[in-house]
Amino acid sequence: MIGRLNHVALAVPDLDAAAAQYRDALGADVGAPQELPEHGVRVVFITLPNTKIELLHPLGDDSPISGFLAKNPAGGMHHVCYEVDDIAAARDRLVAAGARALGDVKIGAHGKPVLFLHPKDFAGCLIELEEA
Ligand SMILES: CC[C@H](C(=O)O)C(=O)SCCNC(=O)CCNC(=O)[C@H](O)C(C)(C)COP(=O)(O)OP(=O)(O)OC[C@H]1O[C@@H](n2cnc3c(N)ncnc32)[C@H](O)[C@@H]1OP(=O)(O)O
Ligand SMILES: [Co+2]
């Protein structure tokens, strides 16, 4: 069911500083910051030859990642995003198998449908699925 690794997301305490570090120290291809109020985050995508890195910082008072940063004030790996062909079928199959979907399918940063799965159901890793 899951296909390509679409991105690895890192929650960071300072989005501009982290973006500058990837651009200047690591020589990466760093995009411009994007605000995603519907997801409660400000993001910067970094394009690598084989996948992307998504830098995340909370946006607004009830960001879903504020708790994570409170527990990890220096930042840390937040989630991985796998591509699927049919996100509704993937959701139905996973929920039928006992996994918890976090909310329902929404449109993500790439304008594609995305769904999050509870980290406690996948060895402590928050998983995002994106319909390719
Ligand atoms: C979609 C736009 C963009 C894109 O790529 O297109 C994005 O990726 S936006 C990304 C931001 N949005 C989300 O992350 C939505 C899904 N996330 C959530 O709903 C929450 O973050 C949730 C429920 C995973 C955790 O929320 P919170 O930390 O407030 O809840 P708890 O404190 O109750 O945490 C429960 C339990 O899970 C552990 N936890 C929390 N976050 C993570 C994580 N990223 N990876 C692994 N584990 C995580 C937390 O420590 C708690 O564990 P416990 O042992 O009970 O302490
Ligand atoms: Co993501």
* pLDDT tens figures, 36-49: 999 999 999 999 99
17-30 exposure pattern, b = at least 16 Cβ within 10 A, e = fewer: ebbeebeeeeeeeb
Q: Is 9 in the pocket of ligand 1 (CB under 6 A)?
A: yes
Confidence of residue 54 (pLDDT cuts 50, 70, 90): very high
Q: Is 68 in the pocket of ligand 1 (CB under 6 A)?
A: yes
Among the bound ligands, name the one nearest to the CA of residue 8: 2
Q: Is 75 in the pocket of ligand 1 (CB under 6 A)?
A: no
Percent of the chain with pLDDT over 90: 100
- Residue-wise pLDDT for 96-112, tens only, equals 999 999 999 999 999 99
Quick one: pLDDT at residue 38? 95
Annotated domain spans of the chain: 5-131
The residue whose C-alpha atom lies closest to atom 9 belonging to ligand 1 is 39
- Spell out the residues 6+ positions from residue 68 whose beta carbon is closer than 8 angstroms to its own: 11, 76, 78
The residue whose C-alpha atom lies closest to atom 21 belonging to ligand 1 is 64
Confidence of residue 59 (pLDDT cuts 50, 70, 90): very high
Give the CATH number of domain 5-131.
3.10.180.10
Prediction pTM value: 0.97
Quick one: pLDDT at residue 112? 97
